[in-house]
């Protein structure tokens, strides 16, 4: 039987949040799958920066850019007790609770609610949404999935208020839940090993499309000690690059969108298998696109051919994961890149036409045992290579190799309270690397660029 299913992308509660091409891709993949199983799917996006009711009520609409990034609506809210010692405004990013409640009233006859989650430390926004749903639609089952639900399963079971908490990929579990609750046998189950067997995400549910996310793979062949990729995906799987271009062309024809963001963990790995054929096909079909990669790309693969291809195919925002120039830490954390590889990659990218400001190099700050000097040296090294250092504060993640070091290094109870995973806290910094030193480094970089 056809069920009415409501998807919810909850608020972000944090000290800071910026829309770096963010969309609830996993949730919208599930929406498409459920439609393919003949269910009716609706969507409430608490993060919608173009929400019509908010636009009407709010004189100050969030500043947005033509490439699809920008600010969210924002309201200052009380800081949760565990974070009170941190003197910054704590905010709800997204629509107001009143707007959310109004939207929910239109879905009183829904059969089940699916809510997603991202950063572990954003759980208060998820809980608030669930609390309101339970208030207004008390008898409707609520299923919680996504990153927080996977990484902090016990916490989510105990405190979220959801009826079901799902770990990992949601495709099979959600069909199982529908069968368990309503007795609905699935008519279509995607092949877990064939990412192209999934229907395209239900992007038509987004009412104002300014950019769309793409994913060409799941997982990553590397195992960096600070990263959770292997917890979500047991191995690296890829789509057929030609089918990815079919999808790009499909969305472009349907929505006229130009900006696309890649959410892959390892887009550039083995370029001959994915990015090279993909970009050649884009050019063959004469598609005009701008690509954005806010998630770190691999530097190791960059050579003359790939640099030219990226530059001439509309790769506008590119960020690379470099993390540190300290050789022993590079080895300890997984060895995904070496200093020489950064130097050579920047040379190729600049020869292709990129400028320093285009080449953002992520440096991981505040990992256990890291000194301020290591970060300074890394900044210097990136600048000497001719690229732009971008500081990324380390967020400790349960289940990663670095977790036990993070627990030992942190003065916060990161095991008991996911709010302390917040990267803004630099939760694993040590005496040597104070907030003042960090702020100073950040300010200097800001002044430079």
- Binding residues for ligand SF4, rule: CB under 6 A, are 220, 222-224, 227, 229, 265-266, 321, 334, 336
Task: Output the residue with the shortest Cβ distance to ligand B12.
Answer: 26
- Binding test (CB under 6 A) with ligand B12, winner from 229, 255, 313, 332: 229
Q: Among all chains, which residue has been given the structure tokens 């440096």? A: 363
CA 243-178-48 angle, 5° bins:
60
Q: Residue 23's Cα: distance from chain center in Å?
A: 8
Count residues contacting ligand B12 (CB under 6 A)? 44
Q: 331: burial class by Cβ within 10 Å (0-12, 13-18, 19+)? A: exposed
Site string for ligand B12, 117-156 (x = CB under 6 A): -xxx----------------------xxxxx---x-----
- Under 8 Å between Cβ of 124 and 161: no
Of 29 and 350, the one with the shorter C-beta distance to ligand B12 is 29
**CB of residue 229 to ligand SF4, shortest distance in Å:** 4
- Under 8 Å between Cβ of 393 and 426: yes
Of 143 and 406, the one with the shorter C-beta distance to ligand SF4 is 406
Of 170 and 241, the one with the shorter C-beta distance to ligand B12 is 170
Q: Rounded to an integer, what distance in angstroms lies between the CA atom of residue 105 and that of residue 72?
A: 23
- Under 8 Å between Cβ of 368 and 402: yes
Instruction: Compute the 3-state secondary structure of the chain and give helix, strand, coil in percent, each to the nearest 5.
Output: 40, 15, 45
Of 103 and 265, the one with the shorter C-beta distance to ligand SF4 is 265
Q: Is 25 in the site for ligand B12 (CB under 6 A)?
A: yes
Q: Is 92 in the site for ligand B12 (CB under 6 A)?
A: no
Of 229 and 424, the one with the shorter C-beta distance to ligand SF4 is 229
46 is written with which tokens? 């608490």
In sequence order, what DSSP letters do the residues of 83-111 get, joined into one string?
GTTS-S-EEEESS-HHHHHHHHHTTTT-S
**CB of residue 266 to ligand SF4, shortest distance in Å:** 6
Of 166 and 302, the one with the shorter C-beta distance to ligand B12 is 166
Q: Is 17 in the site for ligand B12 (CB under 6 A)?
A: yes
Binding partner of 421, given ligand SF4, ligand B12, none, CB within 5-8 angstroms per partner class: ligand B12
- Binding test (CB under 6 A) with ligand B12, winner from 10, 11, 13, 22: 22
Binding partner of 398, given ligand B12, ligand SF4, none, CB within 5-8 angstroms per partner class: none
Separation in Å, CA 110 to CA 129, 140, 176, 187: 16, 8, 18, 21
Cα torsion angle, 277, 279, 281, 283, sign: negative
Alpha helices (H) in 300-356, listed in sequence order: 304-312, 327-333, 339-352
Of 30 and 91, the one with the shorter C-beta distance to ligand B12 is 30
Of 24 and 94, the one with the shorter C-beta distance to ligand B12 is 24
CB atoms within 10 A of CB 403: 18
- Binding test (CB under 6 A) with ligand B12, winner from 95, 104, 166, 257: 166
Q: Is 228 in the site for ligand B12 (CB under 6 A)?
A: yes
85 is written with which tokens? 């010692």
Contacts to ligand B12 by CB under 6 A: 17-18, 20, 22-27, 29-30, 114-116, 118-120, 143-147, 151, 166, 169-171, 173-174, 215, 227-229, 232, 263, 265, 294-295, 392-393, 395, 397, 421, 423
């Amino acid at each position: 039987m056809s069920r009415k299913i409501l998807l919810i992308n909850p608020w972000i509660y944090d000290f800071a949040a910026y829309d770096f091409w963010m969309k609830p891709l996993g949730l919208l993949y599930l929406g498409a799958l459920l439609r393919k199983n003949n269910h009716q799917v609706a969507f409430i996006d608490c993060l919608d920066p173009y929400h019509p009711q908010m636009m009407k009520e709010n004189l100050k609409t969030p500043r947005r850019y033509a490439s699809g990034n920008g600010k969210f609506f924002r309201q200052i809210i009380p800081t949760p007790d565990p974070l009170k010692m941190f003197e910054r405004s704590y905010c709800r990013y997204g629509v107001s609770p009143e707007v959310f409640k109004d939207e929910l009233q239109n879905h009183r006859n829904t059969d089940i609610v699916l809510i997603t989650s991202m950063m572990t430390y954003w759980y208060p926004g998820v809980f608030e949404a669930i609390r309101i749903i339970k208030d207004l639609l008390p008898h409707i089952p609520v299923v919680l999935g996504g990153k927080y639900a996977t990484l902090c399963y016990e916490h989510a079971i105990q405190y979220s208020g959801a009826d079901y908490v799902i770990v990992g990929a949601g495709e099979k579990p959600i069909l199982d839940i529908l069968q368990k609750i309503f007795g609905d046998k699935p008519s279509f189950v995607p092949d877990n090993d064939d990412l192209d067997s999934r229907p395209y995400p239900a992007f038509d549910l987004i009412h104002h499309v300014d950019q769309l996310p793409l994913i060409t793979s799941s997982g990553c062949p590397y195992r960096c000690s600070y990263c959770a990729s292997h917890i979500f995906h047991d191995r690296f799987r890829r789509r057929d690059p030609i089918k990815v271009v079919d999808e790009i062309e499909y969305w472009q024809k349907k929505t006229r969108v130009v900006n696309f963001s890649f959410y892959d963990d390892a887009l550039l790995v083995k370029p001959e298998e994915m990015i090279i054929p993909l970009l050649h096909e884009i050019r063959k079909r004469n598609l005009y696109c701008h690509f954005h990669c806010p998630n770190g790309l691999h530097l190791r693969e960059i050579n003359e051919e790939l640099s030219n291809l990226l530059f001439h195919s509309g790769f506008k925002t590119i960020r690379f994961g470099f993390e540190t120039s300290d050789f022993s830490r590079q080895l300890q954390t997984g060895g995904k890149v070496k200093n020489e590889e950064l130097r050579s990659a920047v040379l190729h990218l600049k020869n292709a036409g990129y400028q320093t400001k285009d080449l953002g190099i992520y440096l991981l700050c505040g990992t256990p045992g890291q000194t301020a000097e290591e970060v300074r040296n890394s900044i210097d090294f990136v600048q000497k290579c001719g690229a732009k250092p971008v500081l990324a504060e380390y967020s400790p993640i349960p289940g990663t190799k670095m977790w036990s070091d993070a627990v030992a290094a942190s003065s916060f109870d990161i095991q008991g309270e996911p709010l302390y995973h917040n990267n803004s806290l630099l939760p694993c910094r040590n005496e040597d690397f104070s907030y003042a030193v960090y702020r100073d480094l950040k300010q200097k970089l800001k002044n430079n660029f």
